[in-house]
Amino acid sequence: MSITDEEARARSARPVRTARPRTVLMCRPEHFAVVYRINPWMNPGLPTDTSLAVRQWERLHGIYRDLGYDVHLIDPLEGLPDMVYAANGGFVIGNVAYGARFAYPERRPEGPAYMDWFRANGFEVVVPEAVNEGEGDFLLVGETILAGTGFRSSDASHDELARVFGREVLTLRLTDPSFYHLDTALAVLDPTPGHEHIAYLPSAFDERSRELLRERFPDAIVVTEPDGAVLGLNAFSDGRNVVIASRAEGFADQLRDHGYTPIGVDLSELLLGGGGVKCCTLELRR
Ligand code: ARG
C-alpha cells in the first residue's frame, strides 16, 4: 500500500528520538487489593483479582526487561496493598534518595520500607520532614523538578526538595481529585537537558499552573480528556519507547507523530487502585 504525499511529509518531519535504557525499582503486587478508599478510583466494595494483577504487572516487568532496563525489585509486604505503586516510594537523583512520607495512614509504613531498601542498596537517604509521595508528585525534566501539590505532597515538601537537591522546583497545583498525583496528569517524554519534552492534561491543573506549563513547554503534547481518563499520562518513557495504557489510543497516535514508539500495556486490575504504568515504576537515576 502506498502512502499519500501528506503522510510522507509528516513522517519525514518526525523528530528522531533516542532511547536511553533506564534503571527502575518495582514491587510485585503479591498483596494487591482494594481495601480502603483514598482516591476516587478505589472502591473497596468491588472485587479485585490479585493473580490477574500479578500477571498484568509481569507483562510490564517483561516489557522493561525487553527494552534493556535494569529492573530492581523490592519485596512486597503483607498489609500494604498499595506498595505495588513504587513511584510513591521516594525520589532519587544520583546517589541521593529523598524518602516518602505518605499523606494517608494506610500507606505510611511504606515510607520506611522503601527507605530501608534505598539504604541497603547504597543510596544516601534523606528522611523527609514534609508530607510527600515521591515520584508520584515529583518529576525531573532537564535541570528542573516539576512538583505536584493539591492532594498529596505538601507545599512544604517542595521547599524541602529544593534544599535537598539544590535545583529549581516548579510547583504545579492539581485540582481534579481523579488526578491526585502529578504523574497521573503529566508525563515526561524526554528529560534530557536541551531536549525537554512532556505531555499533559490541562484540565487537571489550576489556571496559574496551566500558564506555567504553556510558557515552559510550548511544544508539549496536550492529551484529550478520554486518554487522560484511562490514565494514559501515567506513562514511562526512555526517550524513545513510551510504555502507556493500551486504551490510550489517541495518545499513542500523538506519540507516533512526535517520533516516539508507544508500547501499550493493560493494567486494568491496578487501575482499580487508581494507578497505572508510571505508578508501578520508580526511576533510579544513577
Ligand atoms: N492507591 C494508591 C494511592 O491512592 C495509588 C497510587 C498511584 N501512584 C501514583 N504514582 N500515581 O495512593
Mean pLDDT to the nearest integer, 6-24: 85
pLDDT confidence of residue 2 = 61
| pLDDT over 70 (residue 96) | yes
Q: CA 151, CA 175: separation in Å to the nearest integer? A: 8
Atom of ligand 1 nearest to the CA of 279: 10
Q: CA 176, CA 174: separation in Å to the nearest integer? A: 6
Atom of ligand 1 nearest to the CA of 184: 11
For every residue of the chain, which 3-state class applies, written as one string?
CCCCHHHHHHHHHCCCCCCCCCEEEECCCCCCCCCCCCCCCCCCCCCCCHHHHHHHHHHHHHHHHHCCCEEEECCCCCCCCCCCCHHHHEEEECCEEEECECCCHHHCCHHHHHHHHHHHCCCEEECCCCCECHHHCEEEECCEEEEEECCCCCHHHHHHHHHHHCCCEEEEEECCCCCCCHHHCEEEEECCCCCCEEEECHHHECHHHHHHHHHHCCCCEECCHHHHHCCCCCCEECCCEEEEECCCHHHHHHHHHCCCEEEEECCHHHHCCCCCCHHHCEECEC
Among protein residues, the one whose CA lies closest to atom 8 of ligand 1: 279
Mean pLDDT of the chain: 96
218 Cβ partners below 8 Å, 6+ apart? none
| pLDDT over 70 (residue 97) | yes
| Residue numbers of the domain that contains 238 | 19-283
Domain-located, residue 96: yes
pLDDT tens figures, 228-242: 999 999 999 999 999
Q: How many domains does one find in the chain?
A: 1
Domain-located, residue 68: yes
Domain-located, residue 2: no
Domain-located, residue 142: yes
What's 240's domain CATH number? 3.75.10.10
| pLDDT over 80 (residue 263) | yes
- Banded model confidence at residue 14, pLDDT cuts 50, 70, 90: confident
- Banded model confidence at residue 286, pLDDT cuts 50, 70, 90: confident
Ligand 1 binding site (Cβ under 6 Å of any ligand atom): 38-39, 42, 82, 85, 87-88, 107, 136, 181, 183-184, 273-275, 279
- Altogether, the residues listed in the chain come to a count of 286
- From the CB of residue 20, how many other CB atoms can be counted at a distance below 10 Å? 12
pLDDT tens figures, 128-179: 999 999 999 999 999 999 999 999 999 999 999 999 999 999 999 999 999 9
| Count of CA atoms in the C-beta half-sphere (13 A) of 64 | 25
* Matching residue, cell 501539590: 149
- What residues are annotated to the active site? 181, 279
Does the model's pTM come out above 0.85? yes
Report how far ligand 1's centroid is from the alpha carbon of 179 (Å): 10
pLDDT tens figures, 35-87: 999 999 999 999 999 999 999 999 999 999 999 999 999 999 999 999 999 99
Domain-located, residue 73: yes
pLDDT confidence of residue 116 = 98
Domain-located, residue 8: no
| pLDDT over 70 (residue 9) | no
Alpha-carbon separation of residue 278 from 85, 233, 271, 282, 284 (angstroms): 8, 8, 11, 8, 13
| pLDDT over 60 (residue 186) | yes
| pLDDT over 60 (residue 261) | yes
Probe residue for ligand 1, chosen from 82, 114, 269, 283 as the CB with the greatest number of ligand atoms within 8 Å: 82
Atom of ligand 1 nearest to the CA of 88: 10
